[in-house]
């Protein structure tokens, strides 16, 4: 009997232990997600890691974003809970200083709140600027505006430029203008460049400016009355122009030299005309006003007397002396008339420079008469040769003939 009682007690105890153990195994596992707070500078890169949503259990979970503001900003790794940047453009402090999201996991009893603070940064940026303009602009001409963006007030400045002094830059607006129009010459500076600094309270950024110049006919740009005739002419042809146009060429083209008579010699009074050889004569002033080496003759003027429909008149050059070696430059001058007045011409498309310092001569045909002054024996002399010749054997002292040529060492066409 005692044995039966003892067995019964043992059986009951065993059943209690088994029952208790089974009840413990059947209890549910409680998993909680932890909220995430993080901070990130604005303008991150796509895929940049922000942080990880974690739980209080090592169990394997499947994570999901159920909502986010703004939509599409975040992406989550469903296996690890790692949050990354999905759309970098939404991480903009000025638009979205805070980004939020709600995250769930399949075995978690709660949701996690994600709060991301977007830090404001100095977003200063500068765009390189390139444009193309015709050469020979005017001072103050607008060339465009350097584009930049950033917080606070922007300030623009030129760190360096080539050639120096070509450009001006408005410190407040970034507008570029021509500072020295003479430097915008295709033959000398086909490209004008500058390094730009844009700054604000947070720092500074650099940019580059490139101004490409179009090669244009600068002579044509300075003609008005005679432009149509000039455009219609072939290279190597002389065209009649006006005094204003001649003076425009002399004043506005760079690297200009006056050969033959100087302006002061032109101001002397007319004394007489060369008529002792029936008009057909080649002449050259004795002068130090030469066409420099590598110079191009582009314009010519001379003073005529009682001349109607003169033809066959020629401009000549010599690179040896002012009394020999003369040859024609360009075509004969177009038919012209005048009486005690200057006549003016431009040579189109002279693409052959002189190889050394050269002398300017002139052939007077039988249909025209040259004028000279002999008010002083210090006026020098002129050499002459009968008819159209390269060698001038005669010399008249104390006289200077009224003719002049313009040359330049730069091709302005």
C-alpha 323: how far from its chain's center? 48
Q: What is the pLDDT of residue 161?
A: 98
| Secondary structure class of 30 (helix, strand, coil) | coil
pLDDT at 15 over 60: no
pLDDT > 70? residue 26 = no
pLDDT tier at 295 (50, 70, 90 boundaries)?
very high
User: Exposed e or buried b for every residue in 94-130, given b needs 16+ CB within 10 A?
Assistant: eebeebebebbbeebeebbebebebeeeeebebeebe
pLDDT at 124 (0 to 100): 86
Confidence of residue 140 (pLDDT cuts 50, 70, 90): very high
What mean pLDDT do residues 346-360 have? 94
Q: Of the segments 215-219, 258-262, 357-361, which one has the largest average pLDDT value?
A: 357-361
Q: Which of 268-277, 346-355, 378-387 has the lowest mean pLDDT?
A: 268-277
* Statement: residue 377 has pLDDT above 70: no
Please answer whether residues 365 and 312 qualify as being in contact, where contact means their C-beta atoms are separated by less than 8 angstroms. yes
Q: What sign for the dihedral angle of Cα 288, 306, 315, 258?
A: positive
φ/ψ (deg, to 5) at 46: -60, 135
């Amino acid at each position: 009997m005692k044995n039966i009682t003892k067995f019964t007690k043992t059986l009951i105890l065993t059943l209690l232990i088994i029952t208790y153990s089974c009840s413990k195994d059947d209890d549910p596992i409680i998993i909680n997600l932890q909220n995430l707070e993080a901070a990130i500078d604005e303008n991150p890169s796509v895929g940049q890691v922000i942080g990880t949503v974690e739980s209080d259990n090592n169990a394997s979970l499947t994570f999901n974003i159920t909502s986010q503001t703004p939509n599409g900003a975040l992406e989550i790794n469903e296996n690890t809970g790692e949050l990354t940047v999905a759309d970098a453009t939404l991480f903009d402090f000025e638009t979205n200083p805070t980004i939020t999201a709600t995250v769930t996991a399949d075995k978690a009893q709660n949701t996690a709140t994600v709060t991301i603070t977007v830090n404001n940064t100095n977003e200063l940026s500068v765009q390189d600027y390139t444009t193309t303009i015709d050469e020979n602009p005017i001072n103050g001409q607008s060339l465009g505006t350097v584009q930049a963006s950033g917080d606070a007030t922007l300030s623009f400045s030129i760190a360096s430029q080539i050639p120096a002094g070509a450009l001006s830059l408005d410190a407040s607006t970034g507008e570029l203008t021509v500072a020295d129009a003479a430097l915008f010459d295709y033959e000398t500076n086909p490209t004008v460049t500058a390094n730009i600094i844009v700054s604000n309270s947070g720092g500074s950024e650099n940019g580059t400016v490139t101004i490409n110049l179009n090669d244009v006919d600068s002579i044509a740009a300075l003609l008005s009355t005679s432009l149509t005739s000039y455009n219609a002419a072939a290279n190597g042809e002389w065209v009649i122009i006006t005094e204003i146009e001649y003076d425009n060429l002399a004043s506005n083209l760079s690297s200009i030299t006056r050969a033959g008579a100087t302006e002061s010699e032109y101001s002397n009074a007319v004394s007489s005309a060369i008529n002792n050889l029936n008009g057909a004569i080649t002449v050259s002033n004795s002068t130090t006003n030469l066409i420099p080496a590598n110079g191009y003759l582009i314009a010519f003027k001379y003073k005529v007397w009682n001349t109607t429909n003169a033809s066959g008149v020629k401009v000549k050059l010599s690179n040896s002396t002012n009394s020999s070696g003369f040859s024609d430059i360009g075509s004969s001058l177009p038919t012209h008339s005048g009486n005690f007045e200057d006549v003016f011409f431009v040579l189109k498309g002279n693409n052959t420079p002189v190889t050394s310092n050269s002398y300017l001569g002139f052939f007077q045909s039988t249909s025209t008469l040259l004028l000279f002054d002999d008010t002083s024996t210090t006026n020098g002399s002129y050499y002459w040769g009968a008819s159209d010749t390269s060698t001038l054997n005669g010399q008249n002292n104390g006289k200077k003939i009224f003719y002049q040529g313009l040359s330049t060492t730069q091709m302005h066409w």
